[in-house]
Structure 1
Amino acid sequence: MDIKAPDLGVDSAEVSEIMVAVGDVIAKDDNIVLLESDKASVEVPSSAAGKVTKINVAIGDQVSEGMVLIEVESADASDDNDDTAEEVTDSEQADDNNEDAPVEDDADAEEATDDAGEGASTTHALPDIGVDEAQVAEIMVSVGDTVSADESILLIESDKASVEVPAPEAGVVEKILVNAGDTVANGQDFIVIKAAGTPKAKPKADTAKTEDKADKPAPKTESKSQPAPTGEPEQAPAPTSTAAPAGKKLSEAEVNEKLVDVYAGPAVRKLARQLGVDITQVKGSALNDRILKEDLFAHVKNRLTTQQAAPAAQGAVSSGLPKLPDMSNVEIWGETETQDLSRLQKVSIPQLNYNTYLPQVTQFDLSDITETEKLRGELKGDMKAQGIGLTILAFIVKATAYALTQHPRFNSHLSDDNTQIILRKSVNMGIAVATDDGLVVPVIKNAQDKGIKQIAIEIGELAGKARDKKLTTKDMQGASFTISSQGILGGTSFTPLVNWPQVGILGASEATMQPVWNDAKQTFEPRLMLPLSLSYDHRVINGADAAVFTRYVATLLADPRRILL
């Protein structure tokens, strides 16, 4: 019987995974292949029950509606033939032996039937593993385990690949002929399996046992080929509350993308997809940190029982660096002492760790603020009388806010899937302020609509609240760009860190008098030069745009009247 591809909703889709093997006995609606298109990932169920005799597709093939995926031999026809042959053989044997033999009671007859249904023990050899020899990395079953056909039972590794060896038949493991660490070759005997008996109807007394088993934890392995006791296809266990919501589970393609640096087999990938687990967050317990199904279950259980850590505790997030060496040996390290970080420093560490993942570049430039400083000198007396401190930072904020409206890419964020940028229509300018406890970044909202006087007022208010530890959460949220000014602290330049999810930050160092060549007068003149440092996320901004933007800010600072044009 041919099992064909149903209506896929698209012209064609790619075979991502084949979920059965030749020889498997499958039930109707058992999943047989996983198909993927650019729109969806779909598991195709079997339209009939039976034994798989042929697989007509391979991973990577393009299939369309009506194409034959697999061929199966009807289970009913096979059972009828077997039953008929068994009846004839039993009848002939009874006639030949003794027609007057005593008749066994029902219980004895049933026990004899059970014994007759048990299969023989068979020694199996390794299949072609693709190389001359490889090492046994892990033995995934134990003597006495019941395995299903094609269940992974052995993991072997070579310098080229890692391969899971499937069980050649269903049954009970009687003997394992290899050990972890052994070097094995194609055709080598590796396991003895006692074949499973022929399925038959269970007496009522066994029904209670079956129901008791249903209350026990799920078995270590899963079988795609065995039908449920009720005759209906087995249902996958319902996702726990930590799994993705309905319709939001990770697709096979998404799981595979995450598995680039994760050591796990196909069955584990499938289970991760079913549970909606981000497998990159799961720690493997097997050899070489390989992830097992039990590790997935443990991860889900841990997520269920562990409370979310308080925000302040996030300061303990690892930076990804190795642990410090043991510094208790005074002869090597000398005397040491331990000082606790401030609460503010602990909170800022996770945010600073994000910079590890940003491809960050810094562009440097100089702005001639000689004329701007003269203007500030003329205005600061009147401003001071009003209780307003007018610093060069207010001019930098105004010029930068205007530049961001002309170059909106610098006032944006990169989307999570790295396919779009989110442009901010308002400039919320973060201002880095140093305090005794550490650095804080309050925000001036809608800086593009405010004049230099209003900006100077807000800078003073926010700086005062920062020093008095009175900044609120609202004061520090929503920044689209940041300015870090070192004022008169010294230094010729520095490389500020981009404050993710922003894509840029402007640093300003101490302005100094420098000789600058005046081409019109053919002479050097003393000019007040302000060093600027623009750090940017190179995924969003390229070097040429960064150079243009930095020079544009420098030009506006040299003559603030340009902002009025």
Structure 2
Amino acid sequence: MALVEVKVPDIGDFKDVAVIELLVKPGDTVKAEQSLITVESDKASMEIPSSHAGVVKELKVALGDKVNEGSLLLLLETAGSAAAPAPATAPAPAVAAPVAAPAAAAPVAAPAASGPVEVRVPDIGDFKDVAVIELLVKVGDTVKAEQSLITVESDKASMEIPSSAAGVVKEIKVALGDKLNQGSLVAILEGVASSAAPAPVAAAPAAAPAVAAAAPATAVATAPVASAVPAHEPTVAPSGKLPHASPSIRKIARELGVPLAEILGSGPKGRITQADLQGFVKGVMAGQVKTAAQKAAAPAAEQGGGIPGLLPWPKVDFAKFGEIETVALSRIKKISGANLARNWVMIPAVTYHEDADITDLEDFRVLVNKENEKSGGAKLTMLAFLVKACVKALQKFPEFNSSLDGDNLVYKKYFHIAFAADTPNGLMVPVIKDADKKSVIEIAAESSVLAKKARDGKLGPADMQGACFTISSLGGIGGTGFAPIVNAPEVAILGVNKSVMKPVWDGKAFQPRLVLPLSLTADHRVIDGALATRFNVYLAQLLADFRRIAL
């Protein structure tokens, strides 16, 4: 046996890169080219492979250490000349290396008999009370030994928990958000085959392949592409922070060369799912999505929203005028900002204002809520009445329930109403589907559930798609009026402010009436001023006397 020093190979121009993951521990058996650690610079992350095969004798680095080419990583006990040296160069840096689970301990044999088998959390090192952030299987699924069942996350890393046996998932014993430790029961399997292969107590990550130059043809479902889309540069990331994604998603992204930092995740905590990844790739292939590298190569006119001659954004050194603090925009604001800028520039929008007398409607809402308090019914909100009234108005004025498609106007026969929800991460716009087929009480209950999902960061893409018309309400904050931006491809959006008590002349005297300010912004290419005003007036009539809904 010989003792070999494993050092950092040539990693290009990267200097003082930080160690962010230790993929092995003393006592582990490693192969030549197997990844040992993950390092990260301010631009990219990469895995450092072993130059020899052998058993890890001693680690010479710790999390947070800075390393360079030639830095000593570990001591490896090899079998002498039998060890096969690995190539001298490190693999190409990836945008985001996977956050790997701790290395495998000695394998244990899967149960030989058919019957219920308890799958528990294996040895996960020093991690305690890790949160469940993804359920990768469901009851009834057939799983193989070593197949990932759940993803857990600590404050420093995420890892997938594998199955210790093969079989059918009979029962899942954890839920999203649960805290787990070593030995916690994850699932119960049944129908375990007697020939089940031994499964390791904890799965070790396989050696990461180099970033593929082009995506495999079978990796994602592709449609005919009208023109070739330039390949993006996977080593360029908008920021040095690794996005939320499971190790398996990161592996697929590396193989496809997908920049994870440019994808808006739809999972818990903005986590990137496989559907998000596939949707991004399809968008790039179809030319509907541009990566950061493609945008950087675009002409200045295109970077200015496609307006020829638009001046570039001014570059100012604000620090020379006084103290500053720089904070990165949230991912939601970056994505929505681009859409809002496009909509504001491309849609010739006009905003029309109207006041709705909701005195009687508010009295009715309060009365119903008092009755529901005793019976345990749902709490009615003014938004629920607004949604129902907007559906009625869309049915009367179908131009508002349409979208422009080139020179054609597409009229929709369904009524999906979106509403803006204020969340800690920015505005989200969930959609109430088929609002015409639901009662006000059902709409109130559904909007409450969707708003909570938005605040908790649990809205999926399906929850925010298919809207015909949007309501943006600032009633809980205040204001007397505003001009909301139309959310393309819709043709109109309704802004609502806080209701106020005003003196209203009834022909004989001024009466105190509760007035709700409405601000309707419409695409003037489809809706002219007369039609928009008629819509507003009709909507105000419905809110003033809600019995009209039944007509």
Q: TM-score range by the shorter chain?
A: 0.3 to 0.5
Which has a greater percent of helix? 1
The normalised TM-score by structure 2 is 0.45
Bigger Cα Rg: 1
